[in-house]
Chains A and B, each alone.
Chain A
Amino acid sequence: QITLKESGPTLVKPTQTLTLTCTFSGFSLTTSGVHVGWIRQPPGKALEWLALIYWDDGKRYSTSLRSRLTITKDTSKKQVVLTMTNMDPVDTATYYCAHTGGDWAFDYWGQGTLVTVSS
């Protein structure tokens, strides 16, 4: 079955760079039409889409965060990595990675990881 799990620091300082890893199983990111995305949710607030990487290494980013985000994949390790630069307290959120079959419907989600930005 398909599973995803996020990992990374739980606490980062303002101005630091956040690196999150999504380790997945049950599918291959080399299969046509398979993509992995990142979504975040500040405490008590709505979901916000951040980035998506396609099976063919194409990438899409949130317009408002494009300058701060980088998404990459390591198909042999079955991992997708998201980096976000210049972290700020407003970036405090639960960060999720999720699988989509190409129609942008996220059908499998990781459990999420809470990242707090504080000095």
Chain B
Amino acid sequence: QSVLTQPPSVSGAPGQRVSISCAGSSSNIGADYDVHWYQQLPGTAPKLLIYGNSNRPSGVPDRFSGSKSGTSASLAISGLQAEDEADYYCQSYDSSLSGSVFGTGTKVTVL
């Protein structure tokens, strides 16, 4: 099972702001390893949304933002749009596992 815990689902109306948490521990996020976020639309491969905790790859709207504090990280989506309905995953490196770990995933629903 994953060592990064996310809420199973979050929802919001169009235009609203939603936030997804990613809870880790002292061997991953708390050890100052970077957190990355992915968006996975139904039936497609994941897409890198945020890298290095808060950086957006070219082409990702600035409605998406990431932050990290202590042993947790968060992804915020402002101005929620219907096209944002997808699954979102956090990812980090874990020193006790000597490898990468993904979060449990969060389904975002636009009401």
Q: Which of B51, B92, B102 contacts A48 (CB 8 A)?
A: B102
Interface size class of B (residues with CB under 8 A): 20 to 34
**For the complex, would chain B's binding face be called helix, strand, loop or mixed by DSSP majority?**
strand
Chain B residues near A103: list those with CB within 8 A: 34, 36, 51-52
Residues of chain A in range 22-49 having any CB-CB distance to chain B below 8 Å: 37, 39, 46-49
Which residues of the partner chain B approach A61 to less than 8 Å between Cβ atoms? 99
Per-position contact with A for B26-55: 1 when CB-CB < 8 Å, else 0? 000000001010100000011110011000
In the complex, are the beta carbons of A106 and B99 less than 8 A apart? no
| A106 CA to B91 CA, complexed, in Å | 10
Known: A46-B89, A60-B98, A63-B99. A104 touches B34 (CB 8 A): yes
The interface on chain A, measured as residues whose beta carbon lies within 8 A of the other chain's beta carbons, has a size of: 21
Q: Which residues of A contact B24 (CB under 8 A)?
A: none
Q: Which residues of chain B are near A105, meaning CB under 8 Å?
A: 34, 36, 48, 51-52, 91
- A107 to B99, Cβ gap below 8 A? no
Separation in Å of the A71 CB from the closest CB of chain B?
12
A55 in contact (CB, < 8 A): no
- B97 interface hit (Cβ, 8 Å): yes
Instruction: Decide: B52 and A111 in contact? CB cutoff 8 A.
Output: no
From the candidates B34, B51, B102, B105, name the one contacting A49 in the complex (CB within 8 A).
B102
A52 at the interface (CB under 8 A from B): yes
Residues in A lying within 8 Å of B, measured CB to CB: 37, 39, 46-49, 52, 60-63, 96, 103-107, 109-112
